[in-house]
Structure 1
Amino acid sequence: MDIVTKRATILIADFFGTVKERGIAAYVRDIETVAAPVADTVALRAPRWVRRLPQGVQNLLMVLHEQLVVPFHALRLRPDLIVFPYNSSSFLLSLSRRTVLVIHDLIPYRTGHRGSGLAFAYVACSTRWHARLRRRIVAVSPFTARTLTALSRFSGSEIVTIPNCFATTPVLDHAAMPRPRVTLISGTGANKAFTQALDLMAGTTSDPHLAGITFDVVGFGPEHGRATDLIEQARAEGLPLPPITVHPLLPRAELDAMIAANAVVWAHSLAEGFGRAVVEGRATGRPVVMSRLPVFRPLRDDYTFAYTNGDRAGFRTALARALDAASFVRPYQLVEELRRDAAAGVKELLGQ
């Protein structure tokens, strides 16, 4: 007689999964994909009308979701694993050894990078509570794992690495003759330093080797108007900017198509926990210009070109080299390794 083995169940508190396309929401979709062969996943997401609400209201609803809605479903479903992927966790469910907290980077725990003191307090307190109970923590890169291991507050927690694995990012055929455009993947966070990126763009207008280059800006999503205002302000102050198009929240397929059609992807940042933009660019067959950050170092290959933040000349050189490489760039080999590591991390959490 055949013995039927019950599949494991993973419950994921993905409130912003219907609100956002990139970042942590994309990370959760990748986890669902790599976990599919060994477990059934149940992702609890906000209704779509939440998209229309102000960001502050969304954040409040997210807290109520983590502290009330997710515990209710956890008690009902009795999952084998409960995942909180947004740098915070449930005070009640952290009492259970089945609960894990995903920390993408330490940016949310720095007061200077939080738009709200209440948001900072919530993230910091729920994480400290989780760590005090010695519950498991997931890091999204070896760099983040090493950082967490070095901090005394996490010394009692087992740290498992599940990298961003891009399991839902297709490897596309890119144009043989790409458009002379650069895709800047930015965002509203202070670490994205968008005004510094504008200064680097301005530096390209005086370089004859970069004549005719234009920029597409993505990552601001519903708050794309903020980026447009910053651009208009910079122009009014006399900054000689090239043509720039700021895009609203794009469906995944449209974003991938834009990245593949444009010549270069640009990842400008002061700090990151992983480097999703670097891998997204290379996975879609584009060369990548990127800030020189330690966390980006493991993602490099022959078609990534680094510069020091604030160095206009260094940025122009990196961009020119990337444009020269755009018509003969080779596929990115790191994605398969990331997917294998992510699948192994999920199995480790499930005890398989």
Structure 2
Amino acid sequence: MYVVTRRATILIADFFGTVKERGIAAYVRDIEAVANPVADTVSLRAPHWVRRLPQGVQNLLMVLHEQLVVPFHALRLKPDLIVFPYNSSSFLLSLSRRTVLVIHDLIPYRAGHRGSGLAFAYVACSARWHARLGRRIVAVSPFTARTLTALPRFSGSEIITIPNCFATMPVLNHAAEPRPRVTLISGTGPNKAFAQALELMADVASSPHFAGVAFDVVGFGMEHGRATDLIEQARAAGLTLPPITVHPLLPRIELDALIAANAVLWAHSLAEGFGRAVVEGRATGRPVVMSRLPVFRPLYDDYTFAYANGDSAGFRSALTRALDAASVVRPYRLVEELRREAVAGVKELLGK
């Protein structure tokens, strides 16, 4: 006698999955990949024309998507698990124990990093409502999990860690003779401190030791024009900068190829929830220069080089060591561990 076991169904509210390549959208694709052996995933994403809309309109549509569209499909599909991966959740669906909220970091709660007041209110209110009901929360790193556990507002929620696991990242062999270029992963958020990164680039440009070193800037996506404007403003203000190329939104395969071809990856930030850029650089065999943040510490190996934000001498030293190591780096073993942890976290959510 054969027993047919029904596969679980996971519904994911991934509005920005068709709009963005990096960040949370990439995290969702990894969750789909690690969940595939044990469950069917249904990801609800925005139509492609949403890419052409202003960011404010996209954010409004995302709210409507979470509060109206996702509940409709949840009632229709009756999934075993409903995942809201963008730090906010549905007020209606949080009434269900099947609903989980993914919190990547607490940056939106910090006064200096809140951005839009309306966006902050939405994230804060929906997360508080979810936590007040005692629903489960997913953290994307042990650091974030410890932070959430220590906060009284989340004390009634079970915290489960599902890290960024890079399940969809192809294995790339780095070039033995890399280009003398540095890939800076940045973005529009205040925590990325792009203006501060430009000052560090100017310090590099003033040193003969770094003659010939150029920079590629990625992470601004559809708003890459903002990065170009900031660079021009810095030059107009008298800052001498090295050659800088700002890239638009790159398909995953092109971004991975760029990281692999350049000598060093650089992750400059004031605060992060995980440190995806660090792993992306090391997974392609590249040394990584990064801000010295607590959340980055579990990602260290012999080819990661940290500096304190605001310490230009420390940055120059870290970059020098990374460039020296560019042709001799070794594989990054942490990715295998992250994937095992992600699989375990998904199975825990499903009760398997």
State whether TM-score is above 0.5: yes
CA distance in 2, matches of 1:110, 1:123: 12
1:22-66 Cα shifts (integer Å, max 9, x gaps): 000000000000000000000000000000000000000000000
1:113, CA displacement in angstroms?
Answer: 1.5
Question: 1:106 Cα shift?
Answer: 0.2
- Answer yes or no: is the 8 Å Cα contact 1:11–1:41 preserved in 2: yes
Alpha-carbon offset, residue 111 of structure 1 = 3.8
Q: Distance in 2 between matches of 1:157 and 1:280?
A: 31
Letter of the 2:97 partner, please give it: R
Q: AA paired with 2:213?
A: I
Match of 2:317 in 1: 317
Q: Unaligned 5+ residue runs, structure 2?
A: none
Is it true that 1:33 corresponds to 2:57 in the alignment? Answer: no
- The match for 1:209 is 209
Query: Does the 8 Å CA contact 1:170/1:283 hold for their aligned counterparts?
Result: no
**Aligned counterparts of 1:119 and 1:256: Cα–Cα separation in 2:** 31
Q: Distance in 1 between matches of 2:6 and 2:105?
A: 35
Tell me whether 1:8 sits opposite 2:8 in the alignment. Answer: yes
Shift of residue 112, structure 1, vs aligned partner: 2.8
Q: Which letter maps to 2:311?
A: D
CA displacement at 1:284 relative to structure 2: 0.8
2-structure distance, mates of 1:100, 1:248: 33
Tell me the distance in 1 between the aligned counterparts of 2:207 and 2:302: 24
Report the counterpart of residue 339 of structure 1 in structure 2: 339
Match of 1:42 in 2: 42
Structure-to-structure mapping, 1:144-183, within 5 angstroms: 144-183=144-183
Please tell me the residue identity of whatever aligns with 1:218: V
Deviations 1:109-131 (A, max 9, x none): 22432321111100000000000
The match for 1:68 is: 68
Contact 2:102 2:137 in 1 (8 A): yes
Give the partner amino acid of 2:327: S
Check the 8 A contact 1:111/1:117 in 2, yes or no: no
Residue aligning to 1:126: 126
Aligned position for 2:232 = 232
Match of 2:200 in 1: 200
Amino acid at match of 1:282: R
Counterpart of 2:300 in structure 1: which amino acid?
Answer: R
Which has the larger displacement, 169-178 or 258-267? 169-178
Q: Would you say the 8 A contact 2:291–2:306 is kept in 1?
A: yes
What secondary structure, in the 3-state scheme, does the structure 1 residue paired with 2:138 have?
Answer: strand
Aligned mates of 2:332, 2:16 — CA distance in 1:
29
Counterpart position of 2:221: 221
Matched residue type, 1:342: A
Corresponding residue for residue 59 of structure 1: 59
Q: Residue 101 of structure 1 aligns with which residue?
A: 101
Q: Which residue of 2 aligns with 1:188?
A: 188
Q: How far apart are 1:133 and its partner, in Å?
A: 0.1
Alignment partners' CA distance in 2, 1:111 and 1:301? 33
* Pairing of 1:107-122 with structure 2 (within 5 A): 107-122=107-122
- Helix, strand or coil for the counterpart of 2:306? strand
Percent sequence identity is 88
Are 2:108 and 2:115, in contact at CA under 8 Å, matched by a contact in 1?
no
Residue 305 (1) aligns with residue 310 (2)? no
Q: Which runs of 4+ in 1 moved over 3 A?
A: none
Q: CA deviation at 1:70?
A: 0.2
Deviation at 1:228, TM superposition (A): 0.3
State how far apart, in whole Å, the 2-side matches of 1:108 and 1:115 are.
Answer: 8
SS for the counterpart of 2:338 is helix
Partner of 1:284: 284
With the length of structure 2 as denominator, give the TM-score of the two structures. Answer: 0.99
1:170 Cα deviation from its structure 2 partner: 1.4
Deviation at 1:108, TM superposition (A): 1.4
CA contact (8 A) 1:35 1:41 kept: yes
Mapped to 2, the partners of 1:239 and 1:34 lie a distance apart of 46
Residues in 2 aligned to 1:306 and 1:115: alpha-carbon distance in whole angstroms:
27
Per-residue deviation, 1:289? 0.2
TM-score (norm 1): 0.99
Q: Is the 8 A contact 2:178 2:263 kept in 1?
A: yes
SS at match of 2:202: helix
Q: Deviations over 1:140-188 (max 9, x none)?
A: 0000000000000000000000000000111201110000000000000
1:197-240 Cα offsets, whole Å, 9 max, x none, are: 00000000122221110000000000000000000000001111
**2:110 alignment partner AA:** R
1:80 matched to 2:93? The reply is no
Question: How many pairs were matched up?
Answer: 352
